[in-house]
Amino acid sequence: MIEVSNVILPGSTIGILGGGQLGRMVSLAGRAMGYRFVTLDPMKDAPCGQVADAQIVAAYDDLEAARQLAEQSDVITYEFENVDARVTELLMKQSYVPQGSQLLYTTQHRLREKRAIEAAGVSVAPYLEIDSEDKLREGVLAFGTPCVLKTATGGYDGKGQWVIRTLDEVTDAYATLSQAKTELVLEKFIHFDKEISVIAARSPRGEVKAFPVAENVHVDNILHVSIVPARVSDELQRKAEQLAIRIAEGLGVIGLIAVEMFVTSSGEIYVNELAPRPHNSGHYTMEACHTSQFEQHVRAICNLPLGSTELLTPVVMVNLLGEHVEPLMQWSEQQNDLPTDVTAKIHLYGKSDAKVKRKMGHVNLLTNDVEKALKWIEDSAIWKNM
Ligand code: AMP
């Protein structure tokens, strides 16, 4: 028998830095497995705090609060990647953080992340580090327009980005994004056919598994739907899963890594971004796979054997933003327009303030006919303003 060390058994307490919906769904999955949870989040009654055994209400960079989290936890994870480096250092000294600090360091910064992906032998869109307006002009001339200028840190859901469409925009784009006081990176624009993602898990014992490829559609830079199986060839699906596994191994990932990719019409794949945590495009796994991404994350950080990632049914995951909650509530009472062979599983995150564009929940539509589910979403009053 191979001896496996660092196994965190059920009954132990998992600490989660961040109390949003990702932490909530990790806790719900982990509680079913017998773990206890404590979360740290500045917002009282946070989505994760509502389902955890305890919540420490404090800022994410509050070192005293981080010390308390360490004291109360047998193992610590996080639900966002922008963890303050001093907090990571403290948690690593005072508790057990199997995911380590290196993965956060890499994924917090677009240039470091791209270099790490390339070092793992995987392609990213051609890019240039930009440290002056002249360099930006040269880069735009070299890549042609459109091209995309991004801040190296702090951007999410399309924020901290400027799609440069003509040379005239160079001065404004540089002046605006350089205010962020971080490095800038210019990327060649990829005229992709589809955006896809793969979530892979790796455990300290070196086991690695990838979930099936999701095809993602964004509206206003926010994920709208994920379709699984992705409508790309089987060969491309296998290739994307292999790339995610190569990245998980190359970067020595522990826990989950979400790999977002662009696919061109000629079948090339470029990795756009990584996230070292559960990912919105993996919410479909909750009912559609043998193991959800959340359970897999718990298994991985606790060094348990990873669960099967096999797909049980085709699925469309559709996000519920603030503006969708009221029509969803009205629809929920009857649900009578749903095609007979589509089952809707509604997940809400316990957020009270339904602000426009805020992620409030999602629906997994389980069906053998994803086109029917997509048509239903398109016609539904819930998402009529998309
Ligand atoms: P990101 O914040 O890097 O995930 O980018 C947000 C969205 O902008 C992506 O989901 C793409 O739709 C688009 N985008 C970002 N980078 C590129 C690129 N190099 N080429 C084409 N589209 C891009």
Give me the domains of the chain, ranges plus CATH numbers.
13-97 (3.40.50.20), 126-188 (3.30.1490.20), 192-379 (3.30.470.20)
The two three-digit tokens of residue 335, written as one number: 């649900």
Residue 159: its pLDDT value, please?
79
What's the rounded Cα separation, in Å, for the pair 259 and 34?
A: 29
Burial 56-80 (b: 16+ CB within 10 A, else e): bbbebebeebbbbbbebbbbbbbbb
Confirm or reject: Cβ of 155 under 6 Å from ligand 1.
yes
Residues of the chain with pLDDT under 70: 1-3, 156-157
Residue 1: its pLDDT value, please?
52
Residue 186: its pLDDT value, please?
98
Residue 371: its pLDDT value, please?
98
Please name which of 274, 206, 267, 281 lies closest in space to residue 244, comparing C-alpha atoms.
274
Residue 52: its pLDDT value, please?
98
The two three-digit tokens of residue 241, written as one number: 């899963």
For ligand 1, the distance from its centroid to the CA atom of residue 291, given in whole angstroms, is 29
For ligand 1, the distance from its centroid to the CA atom of residue 240, given in whole angstroms, is 18
- Which amino acid, 276? P
pLDDT digits (tens, 9 = 90+) for 100-133: 999 999 999 999 999 999 999 999 999 999 999 9
Residue 6: its pLDDT value, please?
87
What's the rounded Cα separation, in Å, for the pair 204 and 6?
A: 8
SS3 content of the chain, % helix, strand, coil (to 5): 35, 25, 40
Confirm or reject: Cβ of 113 under 6 Å from ligand 1.
no
Q: List alpha helices for 289-337, DSSP H.
A: 293-301, 322-332
Angle ∠(373,379,382) on CA atoms, nearest 5: 95
Q: Which residues contact 51 (CB under 8 A, 6 or more apart)?
A: 24, 27, 28, 31, 37, 350
Please name which of 218, 222, 158 lies closest in space to residue 357, comparing C-alpha atoms.
222
Q: Which residues contact 343 (CB under 8 A, 6 or more apart)?
A: 365, 366, 367
Confirm or reject: Cβ of 146 under 6 Å from ligand 1.
no
